[in-house]
A and B are shown apart, each in its own frame.
Chain A
Amino acid sequence: DTAVSQTPKYLVTQMGNDKSIKCEQNLGHDTMYWYKQDSKKFLKIMFSYNNKELIINETVPNRFSPKSPDKAHLNLHINSLELGDSAVYFCASSPRQGRNTEAFFGQGTRLTVV
Chain B
Amino acid sequence: GDSVTQMEGPVTLSEEAFLTINCTYTATGYPSLFWYVQYPGEGLQLLLKATKADDKGSNKGFEATYRKETTSFHLEKGSVQVSDSAVYFCALSGVGSSNTGKLIFGQGTTLQVKP
A residues lining the B interface (CB < 8 Å): 4, 31, 33, 35, 40-45, 48, 50, 55-56, 90, 92, 94, 96-108
Contacts and interface: CB of A to CB of B under 8 A. Distances in A.
- Interface of chain B: mostly helix, strand, loop or mixed: strand
A97 B42 contact: no
Nearest to A105: B43
A108 B43 contact: yes
Interface of B: 31-32, 34, 36, 38, 41-46, 49, 51, 87, 89, 93-94, 99-105, 107-108, 110
A97 B32 CA distance: 13
Contact of B101 (A48, A90, A107, A108): A48
Contacts of B104: 45
A96 B42 CA distance: 24
Given A45-B102, A92-B43, A92-B44, 15 more contacts: A43-B103, A50-B100, A55-B100, A90-B43, A90-B44, A98-B94, A98-B101, A99-B51, A100-B49, A100-B93, A102-B34, A103-B101, A105-B36, A105-B44, A107-B43
Contacts of B99: 97-99
A99 B43 contact: no
B25 to A, nearest CB: 13
Contacts of B31: 99
B94 A99 contact: yes
